Amino acid sequence: MAARIVLFGATGYTGRLVAQALVARGERPVLAGRDGSKLEELAGELGGGLDTATADVARPDSVRELVSRGDVLVSTVGPFARWGGPAVEAAIAAGANYLDSTGEPAFIRAVFERYGPGAEAAGCGLVTAFGYDWVPGNLACALALREAGEAATRVDVGYFMTGRAGAGDMSGGTRASAAGAVTAPSFGWRGGRLVTERGAKRVRSFPVRGKDRPAISVGSSEHFALPRLAPQLREVNAYLGWFGPASRPMQAMSLVTSLPGVGTAVAAATGRLVKGSTGGPDAQQRARTGSHAQAIAYDAAGEELARVVLEGPNGYTLTGEFLAWGAARAAREGLRGTGALGPVEAFGLDELQAGCAEAGLKRA
């Protein structure tokens, strides 16, 4: 029998997308969140008399009561650096498999370094950042590394938006999380180990649909997951190409905010200004933009060995579909390991590629 899926954060923008995608797949998630009446309203909209459960991260006991051994807990409660801990701790305490929608470097690092060993001891798996951040790059890089073989010692991946971007393309939750992530210390994989460095430290460009587009370096799950798949990797670089010509100014800003004390002050100021739960792009707006992830594997001399380009729908659409696919698969087949797992480790490369294709993300 399939395990129970508990969706924490169901009434948020991303949570709703995941709930809709789960129901469309015939799943019956328990809708969990902090507001009972909003949950009942959502259950009514989705139909089928889904169960609901209330829990608040300010009361970690209430989050622990959501899950039991063998359940699958999906969390979309963010910003994760601020609110993500109780859900992952609840999954470990119960021995439940866990997936989340974070894109935040500091939280990803905490899942791999701080929470992973506890999950391993508890016999459950943690699949962090299983959304647009950072599944397409994990898949593109794993495919490029398979094609490149043992000689690949470095992989670079860039994330870009295609189509007609406009105001309102980012959800309130993304803005709230991004405000913290730009000012927080980030990381890279250099010389065969994880090193702490500021976000946007590097800028490089990738050819996207015939045009060179710049992108800034960012800490992502690729830095943890890929060296486990290809232990010969000396360097993993992930880049975010959403900012176009603003990429260089962002590099300069990240240098300023990395100065002692400045980052904390900026984070505090942006934290006060940015509000979450303000919704995000509707289906019509999402249909205007798409996503492009490009991975390039290099040998030790810097020669390109393989390049994989994946394209698909809007990042929020992908996030809803990925999390629904991952939760449904984890509920039926379990995960392929315990502890903190990268997307390929959790599901297998061919299976992940098939799941992403179902969501519309395919080789271009």
Ligand X SMILES: NC(=O)c1ccc[n+]([C@@H]2O[C@H](COP(=O)([O-])OP(=O)(O)OC[C@H]3O[C@@H](n4cnc5c(N)ncnc54)[C@H](OP(=O)(O)O)[C@@H]3O)[C@@H](O)[C@H]2O)c1
Closest C-alpha among 61, 86, 62 to residue 75: 86
68 and 88 Cβ atoms separated by less than 8 Å:
no
State which of residues 118, 172, 271, 360 lies at the interface with ligand X (CB under 6 A): 172
Rounded least distance, CB 277 to ligand X, Å? 4
Q: Does 58 bind ligand X (CB under 6 A)?
A: yes
Closest C-alpha among 147, 201, 218 to residue 363: 147
Measured from the CB atom, is 157 or 297 closer to ligand X?
157
The distance of Cα 106 from the centroid of its chain, to the nearest Å, equals: 12
Residue ranges of E strands in the chain: 5-8, 30-33, 52-54, 72-75, 97-100, 125-127, 154-163, 185-190, 193-198, 203-208, 211-217, 235-240, 289-298, 304-313, 339-340, 362-363
Task: Report how far residue 162's alpha carbon sits from residue 150's, in angstroms, rounded to the nearest whole number.
Answer: 32
Measured from the CB atom, is 75 or 153 closer to ligand X?
75
Q: Does 174 bind ligand X (CB under 6 A)?
A: yes
Rounded least distance, CB 106 to ligand X, Å? 12
Q: What is the total count of residues that contact ligand X (CB under 6 A)?
A: 37
State which of residues 125, 227, 276, 326 lies at the interface with ligand X (CB under 6 A): 276
Q: Does 15 bind ligand X (CB under 6 A)?
A: yes
Could you give the angle at the alpha carbon of 357 between the alpha carbons of 311 and 289, nearest 5°?
Answer: 35
State which of residues 77, 122, 236, 359 lies at the interface with ligand X (CB under 6 A): 77
Q: Does 314 bind ligand X (CB under 6 A)?
A: no
Q: Does 76 bind ligand X (CB under 6 A)?
A: yes
Query: 204: which strand partners?
Result: 215
Measured from the CB atom, is 82 or 190 closer to ligand X?
82
**How many CB atoms within 10 Å of residue 196?**
11
Stretch that binds ligand X, among 77-85, 108-116, 212-220, 238-246 (CB under 6 A): 77-85
Rounded least distance, CB 17 to ligand X, Å? 8
State which of residues 27, 71, 133, 321 lies at the interface with ligand X (CB under 6 A): 133
75 and 98 Cβ atoms separated by less than 8 Å:
yes
Measured from the CB atom, is 29 or 173 closer to ligand X?
173
Stretch that binds ligand X, among 155-163, 189-197, 311-319, 342-350 (CB under 6 A): 311-319
**How many CB atoms within 10 Å of residue 291?**
22
Burial of 173 (0-12, 13-18, 19+ CB in 10 A): buried
Q: Does 132 bind ligand X (CB under 6 A)?
A: yes
Rounded least distance, CB 251 to ligand X, Å? 22
State which of residues 5, 31, 34, 313 lies at the interface with ligand X (CB under 6 A): 34
Structure tokens at 342: 């990268």
State which of residues 52, 97, 153, 171 lies at the interface with ligand X (CB under 6 A): 171
Structure tokens at 25: 């797949």
Q: Does 199 bind ligand X (CB under 6 A)?
A: no
CB neighbour list of residue 318: distance below 8 Å, 6 or more residues apart? 131, 132, 135, 136, 291, 312, 359, 360, 361
State which of residues 5, 21, 57, 90 lies at the interface with ligand X (CB under 6 A): 57
Rounded least distance, CB 5 to ligand X, Å? 16
Q: Does 60 bind ligand X (CB under 6 A)?
A: no
Task: Report how far residue 133's alpha carbon sits from residue 161's, in angstroms, rounded to the nearest whole number.
Answer: 12
Q: Does 286 bind ligand X (CB under 6 A)?
A: no
By CB under 6 A, name the binding residues for ligand X. 9, 11-15, 33-35, 38, 56-58, 76-80, 83, 101-103, 129, 131-133, 171-174, 177, 276-277, 280, 315-316, 319
